[in-house]
Chain A
Amino acid sequence: MNLRAATLVLSRARHGLRSPAATIGAGVLVLLLLVAILAPWLAPHDPLQQNIALRLRPPGAGHWLGTDNLGRDLLSRLIYGARPTLGIALLVMASAAPVGLLIGIVAGYAGGWVERVLMRFTDIVLAFPQLVLALAFAGLLGAGTFNGALAVALTIWPSYARQARAETLAIRDSDYLAAARMLGIRSGRLLWGHVLPMCLPFVYVRLALDMAATILSLSSLGFLGLGVQPPTPEWGAMVAGGSKVIFDQWWVAAVPGAAILLVCIAFNLLADGLRDLGDPRHG
C-alpha cells in the first residue's frame, strides 16, 4: 500500500476513537476476531465431538449454552463458528472490492466504449436481486464453502464499480490530475497513486457496511445448506440445525443467530461512525 493511503488509514483510525459508535463497533469486532483466532484455547469442548446421551441439554454447568441435537457443545461450536463466519466474509470482501474498484476506475478513466461496456455489464448485475443471485449462483455451482463464497463475491463487486467510476469521473478532469500528467506520470501510476487514494474514503464505509451484508448473505446460504457444509460449525447452518427443535429447545437456534446479529450490528456501527467522520459536515 502506498504511503498516502497508509497515512489516511492511520488518521482515520485515530479519528475513529472520537465516534462512540465506531469505537463500540470496532471494540466488539476486535473481541470477536480474538475469539476466532484463539478458538482452540477458548472452547471448553471439541466442537465436533458428538455425544448422543447428552443431546439437546439446556444451558447449565458443563455445557454453558447447552448442546445441540447431536450432543455437541454449543458454546464450543459458537466459538469455532466465528472462524468461517468472519474469515470467509473477509476473503469475499478482499477479493470482490478490489475487482469492483479496478473496473470502476478503469471505466471512469478510460471513458468511451470501454466505459459503456463495463458499466452496462455492472448495471445488469446490479439489476438482479443480490441475495437471489447469490442463491442461484450457489445452487448452480453446487453447495460448498468455496462456491458459496464465490457466489456472494460475484454479487458484491458492482456497487464498488459504480461508486469508483463516479469518483473517478469527478476528478478525471481536475487540475491536479492535469498537473500530474504534465509531470509525465504515466496512466498506471496515475491511477494507483492519485485516483485510487481519492476513492478510499468511500471504500472504508462501504466495506464496513458490506461486511454486514456479506455475513448475512453467507449465513443465509449456510442456513439453506448451500454454504459451509456440516459438520463444520457455521452460525447460519447452526440456526438451520436448531430450527428443527425451535419450539422445544429454542436456544439451539437462538444463540448462533444472536451471534450473527451481534457481528452485523458491530459492522454497521463501525460503518455509521466512519461515515459520520468522513463527512466534512460532521467535522
Chain B
Amino acid sequence: MPAPRWFNANTAWRMLGSSALSLVLTLAGLLAVTFVMSAFSPIDPALQQVGDHASAATYAQARHALGLDAPLPLRFAHYLIGLCHGDLGISTATGQAVAGELREVFPATLELSTIALLISAIAGVGLALLSARWPGSWVDSAIRVISLLGSSVPIFWLGLVALALFYAHWHWAGGPGRLDDAYEYTIDMPTGLVLLDSWRSGMPGAFASAIRHMLLPALLLASYVLGSIARLTRTSLLGELHQEYVTLARAKGAGPGGILLRHVLPNCLGPMLTVIALAYTNLLQGAVLTETVFARPGLGRYLTNALFYGDVPAILGATLVLGIVFILINGVTDMLVRLLDPRLR
C-alpha cells in the first residue's frame, strides 16, 4: 500500500529522532536511579553470600569478588558494561543469572496484562461510546461507579475475594496457578505464554485449563483499569461532540451513531491511545500483585519473591525491566499519536 499523502518521510524521521533522544535520556536516568538505589541499600550482598559468621578476610574477599570495593563511578561503569552484554548479575537467592530468569518469567506477565488490556479497552471504549450516544443514561452512572471502585479497591484483596467466591465457593473458575496440577508439570513451556504453549502441547484439556486459570486474574486486572479507560474516553468524546464539524456532519444528514463512529472517534484516537497506554502501564503494576495473589509465575511474582528474600540483583533487574517497558510503552504511544494525526505530519 502506498504511503498516504500526508505522510512525509523526512519530518516523520526527524520526529522519531527527537522522541528517541528523549527516550534514551530517560532510560539513562532510569539506569542511574536503579544503580544508586542498589549502591545505598543497607542490604549487603557480600554479607548475604558469606553469612554473619564469616571472618573479615572471607568477607573482604567476597566484596572484592563482587566488585563492591571499587569506587562508585567505576562500579556504575561495570554495571553499564554488564547491562550491554545482557548481564543483570547473579540472583543471591537462586544463584542463577537474573537476566535468564527474567526472560523466563516476563512472557507470562506480558500475556496476562495484554489479555486484560484487550478486555478493558474494548469494554471501556464501548461503554464510553454508549454514554456519549445516550448522555445522561444509566451508562454514565455505571462508568462513574466502576471508575470509583477501580481506583479505590485494593487489588490484592479483590483477588482473594474472587478466589474465595468464584473458585472455592462456586467452582466457576480455576484456582491459583496458571494450569491444573496435572498439566503444570507435564507441559513444555517453550514460549512462556501459557495459552500458546498449552494449545500447542496438544494435551486434551490443557488449553481449557489454561483459560480457566486465566479467567479470574485477567478479568480482575481488566476491571481495575476499565473505569479509567471508560471515563477518560467519554470525556474526550463529549468534548469533541461540541465541535463545528459535528454540526456539519449532522447537516449532511448523518445520524448520531454514524457521527460518533465516523467523525468523533477518529478525532479522539490520540487521547484514546494515551489513555490506553496509561492503562497498560497500570495493568503491569497491577499484575505484580495479581500474580502474587494467584500464584502465577511471572515478573510480578518474581519481584515479590525477590523482595521477600532481599535479593538485590533480582529486585533491580525486575524493576529495570518494568521501567524499560514503561518507557517503551509511553514512547511508542507518543510516536503513534503523532504519526496518526494528519495535522502533525
- A–B contact at 8 Å CB threshold (below): yes
Q: Which residues of A contact B (CB under 8 A)?
A: 120-121, 123-125, 127-133, 135-142, 212-213, 216, 219-220, 223-226, 236, 239, 242-243, 246-247, 250, 253-254, 256-258, 260-261, 264-265, 267-269, 272
> What are the residues of chain A within 8 A of B26 when measuring CB–CB?
123-124, 127
Complex contact B285–A132 (CB within 8 A): yes
Q: From DSSP, what is the main secondary structure of chain B's interface residues? A: helix
Complex contact B33–A124 (CB within 8 A): yes
Shortest Cβ distance from B22 into A: residue: A123
Give A214 to B153 CA distance when docked, in angstroms. 12
Complex contact A125–B319 (CB within 8 A): no
B308 interfacial contact with A, CB 8 Å: yes
Give A160 to B243 CA distance when docked, in angstroms. 32
Complex contact A128–B33 (CB within 8 A): yes
Give A226 to B257 CA distance when docked, in angstroms. 51
Give A244 to B281 CA distance when docked, in angstroms. 29
Residue of A136, A254, A256 touching B319 (CB-CB under 8 A): A136
> What are the residues of chain B within 8 A of A216 when measuring CB–CB?
152, 154
> What are the residues of chain A within 8 A of B312 when measuring CB–CB?
140
Contact with A along B13-38 (1 / 0, CB 8 A): 00000000000011001101110011
6 contacts between A and B (CB under 8 A): A124-B30, A129-B281, A130-B285, A136-B34, A136-B307, A224-B307
Give A250 to B162 CA distance when docked, in angstroms. 11
> What are the residues of chain A within 8 A of B154 when measuring CB–CB?
216, 219-220, 223, 236, 239, 257, 260-261, 264
Complex contact A121–B29 (CB within 8 A): yes
Q: A123-B26, A125-B33, A141-B42 are in contact. Are A268 and B319 (CB under 8 A)?
A: no
Residue of A121, A224, A242, A258 touching B292 (CB-CB under 8 A): A224
Contact with A along B301-313 (1 / 0, CB 8 A): 0011011101010
> What are the residues of chain A within 8 A of B308 when measuring CB–CB?
224-225
Q: From DSSP, what is the main secondary structure of chain A's interface residues? A: helix
Q: A124-B33, A139-B306 are in contact. List 7 more A-B contacts (CB 8 A).
A: A127-B327, A139-B315, A142-B42, A223-B289, A239-B156, A242-B160, A253-B157
B191 interfacial contact with A, CB 8 Å: no
> What are the residues of chain B within 8 A of A268 when measuring CB–CB?
148, 151-152
Q: A128-B326, A247-B164 are in contact. Are A261 and B153 (CB under 8 A)?
A: yes
Nearest first, the 10 A-B pairs at minimum CB distance are A257-B157, A124-B29, A264-B152, A140-B41, A139-B307, A136-B319, A247-B168, A265-B152, A131-B285, A250-B164
Give A139 to B326 CA distance when docked, in angstroms. 20
Shortest Cβ distance from A251 into B: residue: B164
> What are the residues of chain A within 8 A of B164 when measuring CB–CB?
246-247, 250, 254
Complex contact B323–A128 (CB within 8 A): yes
> What are the residues of chain B within 8 A of A239 when measuring CB–CB?
154, 156-157, 160
> What are the residues of chain B within 8 A of A127 when measuring CB–CB?
26, 29-30, 323, 326-327, 330
Give A265 to B32 CA distance when docked, in angstroms. 37
Complex contact A264–B37 (CB within 8 A): no
Give A219 to B29 CA distance when docked, in angstroms. 28
B118 interfacial contact with A, CB 8 Å: no
Give A120 to B32 CA distance when docked, in angstroms. 13
> What are the residues of chain A within 8 A of B153 when measuring CB–CB?
261, 264
Interface residues of B in 290-342 (CB under 8 A from A): 292-293, 303-304, 306-308, 310, 312, 315-316, 318-319, 322-323, 326-327, 330
Interface residues of B in 149-199 (CB under 8 A from A): 149, 151-154, 156-158, 160-161, 163-164, 168
> What are the residues of chain B within 8 A of A123 when measuring CB–CB?
26, 29
Give A131 to B307 CA distance when docked, in angstroms. 13
> What are the residues of chain A within 8 A of B34 when measuring CB–CB?
136
Give A189 to B164 CA distance when docked, in angstroms. 58
> What are the residues of chain B within 8 A of A139 when measuring CB–CB?
306-307, 310, 315
> What are the residues of chain A within 8 A of B327 when measuring CB–CB?
127
Interface residues of B in 219-272 (CB under 8 A from A): none
Complex contact A132–B303 (CB within 8 A): yes
> What are the residues of chain A within 8 A of B168 when measuring CB–CB?
246-247
Residue of B33, B152, B160, B319 touching A212 (CB-CB under 8 A): B152
Residue of A129, A140, A257 touching B326 (CB-CB under 8 A): A129
Complex contact A265–B29 (CB within 8 A): no
Complex contact B322–A129 (CB within 8 A): yes
Q: A140-B38, A216-B154, A257-B160 are in contact. Are A132 and B288 (CB under 8 A)?
A: yes
Complex contact A140–B37 (CB within 8 A): yes
Complex contact B160–A128 (CB within 8 A): no
Residue of B30, B156, B310, B319 touching A220 (CB-CB under 8 A): B156
Complex contact B160–A253 (CB within 8 A): yes
Give A15 to B158 CA distance when docked, in angstroms. 35
Shortest Cβ distance from A267 into B: residue: B152
Give A224 to B288 CA distance when docked, in angstroms. 11
Determine which residue in B29, B43, B303, B307 has the highest number of CB atoms from chain A within 10 A of its CB, and name it.
B307
> What are the residues of chain A within 8 A of B330 when measuring CB–CB?
127
Give A72 to B285 CA distance when docked, in angstroms. 33
> What are the residues of chain B within 8 A of A135 when measuring CB–CB?
288, 303-304, 307, 319
B105 interfacial contact with A, CB 8 Å: no
Query: A161 to nearest B CB, angstroms?
Result: 15
Shortest Cβ distance from B320 into A: residue: A136
Shortest Cβ distance from B29 into A: residue: A124
> What are the residues of chain A within 8 A of B322 when measuring CB–CB?
129, 132
B284 interfacial contact with A, CB 8 Å: yes
Complex contact B315–A136 (CB within 8 A): yes
> What are the residues of chain B within 8 A of A121 when measuring CB–CB?
29
Query: B93 to nearest A CB, angstroms?
Result: 12
> What are the residues of chain B within 8 A of A124 when measuring CB–CB?
26, 29-30, 32-33
Q: A123-B26, A124-B30 are in contact. Are A132 and B151 (CB under 8 A)?
A: no
